[in-house]
Structure 1
Amino acid sequence: MDTIFALATAHGKAGVAVIRVSGPLALECGARLAAKSLPARGMRMAQLKDGAGEVIDDALVLSFSAPNSFTGENVVEFQLHGSTAVVGAMLEELGRQDGLRLAEPGEFTRRALENGKLDLAQVEGLADLIDAETEAQRKQAQVILAGELGDLAERWRADLIRAASLIEVTIDFADEDVPVDVTPEVESLLAGVASDLEKETAGVKIAERIRNGFEVAIVGAPNVGKSTLLNALAGREAAITSEFAGTTRDVIEVRMDLAGLPVTLLDTAGLRETEDHVEGIGIERARQRAEKADLRIFLSEDFQDIEDLYQEGDLRFFPKADQRADASGAISGVTGQGVDQLVSLVSEQLKERSTQAGIATRARHRDAMQAAQTSLTSARQILARGPEFYDIAAEDMRSAIRSLEALVGRVGVENLLDEIFSSFCLGK
């Protein structure tokens, strides 16, 4: 196994930079650069020198002996002053050390997976935590990183292993009198796991939205103030506004943090009949994006005009409150009237939906759980047909177990690993 190194903090000037080394030669390399022995687990202040004896920097050197480290290998971390010159000199010196090489993207985390320090779901949680921009994303990623999905999968797996074992004992003693009918316990175990899987699978869509962002579309006829409202919500001139109808011809997106949730606001083309080919394309795109959005904000004088797009929970306002004698139920991006109420309503809607999120956050998780559900449904149906079919039911249970093992990366995910780890930086 190679010994790898990389900068673990961001490139550029900083107060402190961290360079990580992992592998069999890590402790030896650290001791050589620090010119002093390192503890099996601890820290040393040291003056780091290159091969010619020139001082690179004064640094704090942390050492971790296998298996008690992030990667499960010997690890040394150098905490240096974060200048580009110091970091460059240190990386250059490490590159000259025999047996060391620069890490590939995500290689430290991949070694943690291979050495049993993390399961695959935790790896995905770590990637989400690094990418988290809002409080909801951070909390969701922390749950996955803490291993809660893996714990769930292990509990389901243990129940299915017991169920399969009970059935297989019955098969093994098919020619003898088995003193206890195991079918009720097996059915209870299968039903419990199936119920949990159904609940968790249903929550994946919302969890994905927390991870990737909710979409909220502003919809209405031309010149009702959609782009002005978007600019007011964004706090900047994100969309061009004018008195001419049809100014917005494509969907304009603005990403925001609303009440700790990631939200992408969509300013759509004004909905109307038109003979302009380009504007017609924009209107069709607007309708498609609005239909797929999680929530729609309608600005209209007559909501019957857009009734076909309305979905339960959508918000409706009269436009241009600043130009109306009666501004009740209206909103204005020009004066800000009603904007705070709108933000509050959108936040409440999305927070309520977020409570339905499960622990699983990705399509891969959903697919594995749905595969397990399918196998369990088949197993329960076959189980009801009697002991002569128990061997088939047992195989369906084993298939469900394999699906749960794929959920946490034990089997069948080798083709996904390169794609997953390529999203990590070199030092992670």
Structure 2
Amino acid sequence: MDTIYALASARGKAGVAVVRISGPLAFWTVEKLSGSVPKQRHASLRVLKDEQGDVLDEALVICFGIGASFTGEESAELQLHGSIAIVKSVLAELSKFDGLRMAEAGEFTRRALENERLDLAQVEGLADLIESETEAQRKQAMRVLSGALGDKASGWRTSLIRAAALIEATIDFADEDVPIDVSPEVLDILAKVMLELESEVSGVRISERIREGFEVAIVGPPNVGKSTLLNALAGREAAITSEIAGTTRDVIEVRMDLAGLPVTLLDTAGLRDTSDIVEIAGIARAKERAEMADLRVILIPSFGVTPEIQPKDGDLVVIGKDDGGSSLNASVSGKTGQGIEWLISSISDRLSVMASGASTATHERHRISMTIALSTLESAKNEVLMGADRAEIAAEDMRTAIRALDALVGRVDVENLLDEIFSSFCIGK
């Protein structure tokens, strides 16, 4: 196997730059550069030199033995001064060593998967952690990276192996150690696993929203203050404001962090009857995006006015453009800032309630694997209820469910997914 290396920290000038080396020649490489191999898992100050003996840098060097590194392989990290020139010269020197090559995108993490240091769900959690921008995203990614989903899958797998073993024992072994009727225990196991799977599946959509961002649409008639409110919430001029009706023709998106949750605010075209073809298209798009949004802030010009769209549970109906502050209850003004804090708090509270329903599973791939397992377990339950002569079919259904859960954490049937997953990683990770 090749020994790979790459810059593991961000490119550009910095205080410290980290070069990672992993593979069978990692320690040999450190010895070539610094003259000796430091004690494993201890940071040691070393002078790094090129093959002519010229000094490249004075760096902290940390070595990790097989099974004790991120990749599971013999590895080393060179903590260099973060000069672009130093990093370039060290990488150039490493390229001269036989048996070493530059790592591909995600290759360190892929080796961690192959060496069973991480399961596939943890790999996805690591990718999400790298991409996280808000506290909710960080916490969710850390939960997956810690192995929470893998632990659950392992528990389900153990339970289903027990259930399948009971069923298969009635087929293959007819002695006194095997209960005459194992169906009550089997059905109890299936019921518990299915209940937990159903809970996880139901929360995947919310988990995806935490990962990708909730959408909050601001809707209402023209000139009710939608664009001004968006600008006030965003803290910048994201949308053009005008007294002319129909100024906003398309959906304008602004990404924000609200109470640690990722949120995309949508400013939509004013809802009204019009003969303008372009505005008609904008209104249609506004209604479509508003319908798909997780939450809608419906602005109305005054109390008693019927909203342009029917509010759903959780939607906020608010008086917009209340610049004079005459209606302090459920009213806002993007111009003066009146009611903005209340609105942000109200949106955050509603989204936090939604976020509380998130599951450990965070990707559509997870949902599909668990849904397949649920479907086959439902079939297995029905076969068990039909009697002992259907035991073989029930056992096969359970094995199918186990394989679906194995795919969840990358034990089987995921090779075609790996290239796609690791393509999201940067070189050095």
Q: Give the alignment's TM-score, normalised by structure 2.
A: 0.97
Confirm whether residue 319 of structure 1 aligns to residue 320 of structure 2: yes
Q: How many angstroms apart in 2 are the aligned matches of 1:393 and 1:174?
A: 18
Q: Which residue of 2 aligns with 1:369?
A: 370
| CA 1:37–1:179: 2 relative to 1, 3 Å | closer
Q: Which residue of 2 aligns with 1:91?
A: 91
| CA 1:197–1:340: 2 relative to 1, 3 Å | same
Q: Which residue of 2 aligns with 1:353?
A: 354
- Give matches, 1:217-256, under 5 Å: 217-256=217-256
| CA deviation map 1:208-264 (0-9, x unaligned) | 111110000000011111000000000000001011111111100000000000000
Q: How many angstroms apart in 2 are the aligned matches of 1:374 and 1:75?
A: 44
- Give matches, 1:6-405, under 5 Å: 6-173=6-173, 179-301=179-301, 303-308=305-310, 310-323=311-324, 325-405=326-406
User: How many angstroms does 1:274 deviate by?
Assistant: 1.3
Structure 2 counterpart SS, 1:321: coil
User: Partner amino acid for 1:397?
Assistant: M
User: Partner amino acid for 2:322?
Assistant: A
In terms of mean alpha carbon deviation, does 22-31 or 297-306 score higher?
A: 297-306
Structure 1 counterpart SS, 2:47: strand
User: Partner amino acid for 2:364?
Assistant: A
User: How many angstroms does 1:176 deviate by?
Assistant: 9.0
Q: How many angstroms apart in 2 are the aligned matches of 1:80 and 1:263?
A: 38
Structure 2 counterpart SS, 1:157: helix
User: Partner amino acid for 1:317?
Assistant: V
Q: Which residue of 2 aligns with 1:427?
A: 428
User: How many angstroms does 1:42 deviate by?
Assistant: 2.6
User: How many angstroms does 1:180 deviate by?
Assistant: 3.5
Q: How many angstroms apart in 2 are the aligned matches of 1:43 and 1:34?
A: 13
User: How many angstroms does 1:420 deviate by?
Assistant: 0.5
Structure 2 counterpart SS, 1:322: coil
User: How many angstroms does 1:147 deviate by?
Assistant: 0.2
| CA deviation map 1:135-178 (0-9, x unaligned) | 11110011000000000000000000000001000011369995
Contact 2:298 2:307 in 1 (8 A): no
Contact 2:160 2:189 in 1 (8 A): yes
Superposed CA RMSD in Å reads 1.4
Tell me the matched-pair count: 427
Contact 2:153 2:409 in 1 (8 A): yes
User: How many angstroms does 1:307 deviate by?
Assistant: 3.7
User: How many angstroms does 1:328 deviate by?
Assistant: 3.6
| CA 1:175–1:35: 2 relative to 1, 3 Å | closer
| CA deviation map 1:13-48 (0-9, x unaligned) | 000000000000011001110112333443321110
Q: How many angstroms apart in 1 are the aligned matches of 2:411 and 2:172?
A: 28
User: Partner amino acid for 2:11?
Assistant: H
Q: How many angstroms apart in 2 are the aligned matches of 1:81 and 1:6?
A: 15
Q: How many angstroms apart in 1 are the aligned matches of 2:121 and 2:170?
A: 35
- Unpaired runs of 5+ residues, structure 1, are none
| CA 1:173–1:94: 2 relative to 1, 3 Å | same
Contact 2:72 2:115 in 1 (8 A): yes
In terms of mean alpha carbon deviation, does 297-306 or 373-382 score higher?
A: 297-306
| CA 1:50–1:172: 2 relative to 1, 3 Å | same
Contact 2:48 2:58 in 1 (8 A): yes
User: Partner amino acid for 1:261?
Assistant: L
Q: How many angstroms apart in 2 are the aligned matches of 1:368 and 1:198?
A: 12
Structure 2 counterpart SS, 1:14: coil
User: How many angstroms does 1:9 deviate by?
Assistant: 0.3
User: Partner amino acid for 2:259?
Assistant: A
Q: How many angstroms apart in 1 are the aligned matches of 2:246 and 2:370?
A: 46
Q: How many angstroms apart in 2 are the aligned matches of 1:72 and 1:305?
A: 60
Identity %: 62
User: Partner amino acid for 1:226?
Assistant: K
Contact 2:384 2:390 in 1 (8 A): yes
| CA 1:304–1:41: 2 relative to 1, 3 Å | same
Contact 2:57 2:86 in 1 (8 A): yes
| CA deviation map 1:312-349 (0-9, x unaligned) | 00001112111474444321100011111100000000
Contact 2:40 2:62 in 1 (8 A): no
Q: Which residue of 1 aligns with 2:417?
A: 416
Q: How many angstroms apart in 2 are the aligned matches of 1:299 and 1:424?
A: 42
Q: Which residue of 2 aligns with 1:4?
A: 4
Q: Give the alignment's TM-score, normalised by structure 1.
A: 0.97
Q: How many angstroms apart in 2 are the aligned matches of 1:351 and 1:52?
A: 60
User: How many angstroms does 1:404 deviate by?
Assistant: 0.3
User: Partner amino acid for 2:351?
Assistant: L
